[in-house]
Structure 1
Amino acid sequence: MPDSSPSGLTGFIAATSQLASRFPLTRGGTRRFVLAFGEQMAYIRVQDARNPWRFLRQMEGNPPTRWGTDGFKAGLVDDRNPARHYAAFVFVGFWLPGWMALLLLWLWELAGFMRYRFYWSQADTRSGYVGLWHGRLV
């Protein structure tokens, strides 16, 4: 039987809405939501930050949920799971002061530039900016 659950941007929005509905509209509820969102959508597990190599491997790997590219703006897509990068920077934008979040975005992109043999992903950078902005709004 084929899976009929939504994918792409529609699935990502539906899953995010469903996840958000589990938490109260309080400061603590918002914090718990952002932690759960980061873990589910971007594989950011803050409890693993004590082991930096594992933490970084997880963040560059595949999160528990993947949505594909359907419905995402083409200028924000550079791989098969644009929601991961966006969600990671929503997380960063929520937790860090603006200047620090922006610095982290640029350091992450510079590390990717080196890792991927001098390939600069403008789509990833744009997606990161959108994520930071949305994280500040949460």
Structure 2
Amino acid sequence: MFEQALGLTTLAQTAGAGAAGGLGFMAMALLSAEMRSGVDMILNETGGEKMLAQADLVITGEGRIDAQTLSGKAPTGIAKRARAKDIPVLAVCGQSLLDPAISNELFEDIYSLTDFESDINECIRNPLPILEGIGFNIAKHHLS
């Protein structure tokens, strides 16, 4: 309704305009905001490039890695930057639903809590021993 009243139908089609209940659209329409990649902005502001220049391995994570992860979420942005510098990238997540053929383009390995404990509720209730096991596996296979 707002977009029609102001004649901003093109703006409403901008990537990210519908995120967070249309907050992106409202910010662009009323505040002349511009859409920027959140992960790029954070990496630029926190010295991410400098950290990557010193890295031999990158470990990133998310609660669930799935098709949405590929749509501009932090793990994808981090992985793309690291891979461009030939730095291997590992992901740690609660659950991974990505096809390995797709995930292998970004991540050398994905360590999912549900690969170590099939009961997702147990993963949520008691993640520490699972994460310790994942940390051990990462050290064993990637830090030797």
Higher normalized contact order (CA 8 Å, seq sep 6+, divided by chain length): 1
Q: TM-score, normalised by structure 1?
A: 0.29
Q: Which has the higher helix share?
A: 1
- Bigger Cα Rg: 2
